[in-house]
Amino acid sequence: MADLKSPMLIYIKGALFVVLGVFAAGILLAKAGNWQVAVLLGLSIWAFCRAYYFAFYVIEHYVDPSYKFAGLGDFAGYLLNRRLADRSK
């Protein structure tokens, strides 16, 4: 499959992610029906967004500018290799 290059299709893809997230959260909240689940869901979403930002922006710009990540699996491999390299010193 080729990379997506059309800006319009990229925006549509992003919008579909938002629609999917809102739909899934809405169903979850409708099934649970209490404010504690809503707060925990919001906190979970916020925390995962911050972790994603940390993995791709903070590490690349502040910790190791020479490394470019291709995905979360690549980031996990980077952390594992870095940890193994630190142990061998």
**Same domain, residue pair 52 and 89:** yes
Residue 34 dihedral angles phi and psi, to the nearest 5° = -140, 160
Q: 71 phi and psi, to 5 degrees?
A: 175, 175
pLDDT of residue 87 exceeding 80, the answer is no
Q: How far apart are CA 57 and CA 64, in angstroms?
A: 10
Is the domain of 19 the same as that of 43? no
CB 9 within 8 A of CB 3: no
Q: Are residues 26 and 44 in the same domain?
A: no
Q: What domain range includes position 11?
A: 1-33
Q: Give the pLDDT of residue 30.
A: 92
Q: In this structure, are 21 and 53 located in the same domain? A: no
Q: What's the pLDDT score for residue 89?
A: 63
Same domain assignment for residues 50 and 63: yes
Is residue 82 pLDDT above 80, yes or no?
A: no
If asked whether residues 21 and 62 sit together in one domain, one would say: no
What pLDDT was estimated at residue 71? 80
Q: For residue 32, what are its two tokens?
A: 């649970």
Q: What is the pLDDT of residues 18-72, one digit of tens each?
A: 999 999 999 999 998 888 999 999 999 999 999 888 888 888 888 888 877 778 8
CB 72 within 8 A of CB 53: no
| Number of compact structural domains in the chain | 2
SS3 88: coil
How high is the pLDDT of residue 12?
95
| 82 shares a domain with 45 | yes
